[in-house]
């Protein structure tokens, strides 16, 4: 798959997340999520630091959109999941920063 096909802009991600069976996987650490989180019902928080041990918890038959602060760590997570046999994975380009700059729902503490 072409690397550009693995990237989703925030508005495309929001459209995908409105569909059943699509999950946003937030790979940021807990202290980052505590400051600002994606305000969506279908978010799974799984920090990149725990992904190797816990990736089996992720649904295999679902569309997964990986997200972090700016897109780098989520791309690492995406590459890892591809190597684990996940096929329906994409990266939120620009992370929560880009999501927020588009005025999409963010929960702040």
> Active-site residue numbers?
68
Are 48 and 54 in contact, with CB atoms under 8 Å apart?
Answer: no
Q: Which two tokens stand for residue 70?
A: 């700016």
Are 96 and 69 in contact, with CB atoms under 8 Å apart?
Answer: yes
């Amino acid at each position: 798959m072409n690397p550009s096909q693995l990237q989703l802009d925030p508005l495309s991600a929001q459209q995908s997340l409105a569909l059943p069976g699509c999950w946003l996987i937030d790979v940021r650490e807990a202290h980052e999520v505590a400051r600002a989180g994606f305000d969506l019902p279908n978010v799974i928080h799984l920090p990149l630091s725990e992904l190797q041990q816990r990736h089996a918890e992720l649904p295999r038959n679902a569309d997964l959109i990986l997200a972090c602060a700016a897109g780098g760590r989520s791309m690492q997570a995406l590459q890892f999941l591809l190597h684990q046999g996940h096929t329906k994975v994409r990266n939120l380009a620009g992370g929560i920063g880009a999501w927020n700059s588009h005025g999409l729902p963010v929960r702040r503490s």
